[in-house]
Structure 1
């Protein structure tokens, strides 16, 4: 996971970037892409809960027999969250190593669990000799009101590409094209002091997928077509976070109980 260099805030389950100059807030790229439906997550979560139940049957029964049925239920239902956090922690630590290696910095001692990731990333650097131009920076779009932090922009075998490091067990998913397209079609790179860097031109995008068992560099189509789909999701995000709570009013008959809802906070657009 890329750690933003500029300030962010969280509203609900969404991240908003705070413009260091104007204070304007813009939703993050990954939060916008998160508007995509993910029906597979329901089955994944069910499987994780079932696995935890089987693997920890004695503990769960013990909790229930002590009269804490709610505790047993809570332990099981939080199993997917524990699994997700573990994967996120590994990904964040691996990203930290990747950033330092991409900048030519020494990584020092590496935890045994992360050593394969570091070795594979080193092999990628040796084999492809990428010219790293930017790492772990933030892009901003005033035109479409979003921001996001990318892993790297580099020239590989003569082509300038937006790069994303992935360590997920499930592989490279199609929505990464939307993520990279958002970076590619933003307005500029913004620094923590508010200074702006012109957005570099790119021929495309790629994902470096690193797992303990190996690595692969995968080209990604992040052109105008992918960006159009991202912009549709940006509108879905606006519906979900800004607009849908405002469309249902009070009933017109006097005897009905009012059901007016409080509008959600609205993300301010950059000037």
Structure 2
């Protein structure tokens, strides 16, 4: 049993959001747990390559700087790429939320127009009927919270009948990563759901399937994702790895004093001949 107490509240900040319980204690978020609890082998290689690419693309500019300034620029170069990707993802999510709720979308930047048009086609092609959009979920027993993109009824291409799915929108260029299964499983097996930042909690809505919606400038594809009890268990393993990593320093104590003073004579060092 976790130590968190209902109700959960989502707190928005300039850079994102976090979750607190009734006592004001922070509840770990699903994406934070996965970010800290799963190895990121591909990310290590990407960081090295992105830093090298930044150095090549800004070679002349870097050459005119002091060594310490050059190092700082190179160390932070890759973050410009991730910041742009995060900003694009946030903006696409915003337009997607408005579209699925039937709002009219205008003034879309040229850079995002393809994404928005692709998502609009997707909503029409699958006859997407929203049940819940952008809702917070929490599991007090395990101890985590998160924000799901949508629960919706869509036309199943295989049966031509509507099925209820839990879906997460992804905009990265590389496609859908396996950890999305753990993310969706955490949402699916949450205990409670609330709409808005302070909405009343109600039992989590059951769904038949989970999926990712991969939105690019050319298309929006529905990607089935296995997010069952086993994946929920795997998510809980990741949560425990994160907990261990955060607490591991406390497992190592301070050096111990010897039980008695030494009686060994001082060592005399001789110079090598």
Residue 56 of structure 2 is matched in structure 1 by 54
Summarize the Cα distance change of 1:111–1:194 in structure 2 as closer, same or farther, 3 Å threshold.
Answer: closer
In structure 2, the gaps of 5 or more residues are 1-8, 156-161, 260-273
Residue 6 of structure 1, aligned match among 4, 10, 13? 10
Residue 172 of structure 1 is matched in structure 2 by 176
Q: 1:8 Cα deviation (Å)?
A: 5.8
| Separation of aligned partners in 2, 1:22 and 1:195 | 17
Residue 101 of structure 1 is matched in structure 2 by 99
TM-score between both structures, scaled by the size of structure 2: 0.84
| Separation of aligned partners in 2, 1:30 and 1:254 | 46
| Separation of aligned partners in 2, 1:245 and 1:85 | 31
| Separation of aligned partners in 2, 1:104 and 1:137 | 17
In structure 1, the gaps of 5 or more residues are 256-271
Q: Are the counterparts in 2 of residues 30 and 148 from structure 1 also a CA contact under 8 Å?
A: yes
| Separation of aligned partners in 2, 1:23 and 1:74 | 37
Q: Are the counterparts in 1 of residues 10 and 17 from structure 2 also a CA contact under 8 Å?
A: no
Residue 263 of structure 1 is matched in structure 2 by none
Residue 189 of structure 1, aligned match among 189, 193, 203? 193
Secondary structure in 1 aligned to 2:64?
helix
Q: 1:163 Cα deviation (Å)?
A: 0.6
The higher-RCO structure (CA 8 Å, 6+ apart) is 1
Please list every run of at least 4 consecutive aligned residues from structure 1 whose deviation after the TM superposition is greater than 6 angstroms.
Answer: none
Residue 26 of structure 2 is matched in structure 1 by 25
| Separation of aligned partners in 1, 2:224 and 2:237 | 23
TM-score between both structures, scaled by the size of structure 1: 0.84
Q: Are the counterparts in 1 of residues 54 and 78 from structure 2 also a CA contact under 8 Å?
A: no
Residue 112 of structure 2 is matched in structure 1 by 114
Secondary structure in 1 aligned to 2:10?
coil
- Corresponding position: 1:72 with 2:76: no
* Within-5 A mapping of 1:117-156: 117-156=115-154
Secondary structure in 2 aligned to 1:6?
strand
Q: Are the counterparts in 1 of residues 20 and 26 from structure 2 also a CA contact under 8 Å?
A: yes
Q: Are the counterparts in 1 of residues 10 and 18 from structure 2 also a CA contact under 8 Å?
A: no
131-140 or 212-221: which moved more? 212-221
- Note the alpha carbon deviations across 1:233-261, whole angstroms, 9 max, x for none: 111121122x2132111222259xxxxxx
- Note the alpha carbon deviations across 1:195-242, whole angstroms, 9 max, x for none: 21221111120011011132211000111011010011111121122x
Residue 5 of structure 2 is matched in structure 1 by none
53-62 or 223-232: which moved more? 53-62
82-91 or 69-78: which moved more? 69-78
- Note the alpha carbon deviations across 1:82-141, whole angstroms, 9 max, x for none: 110010011101110000001111122100001001000000011001111111110010
Aligned length: 242
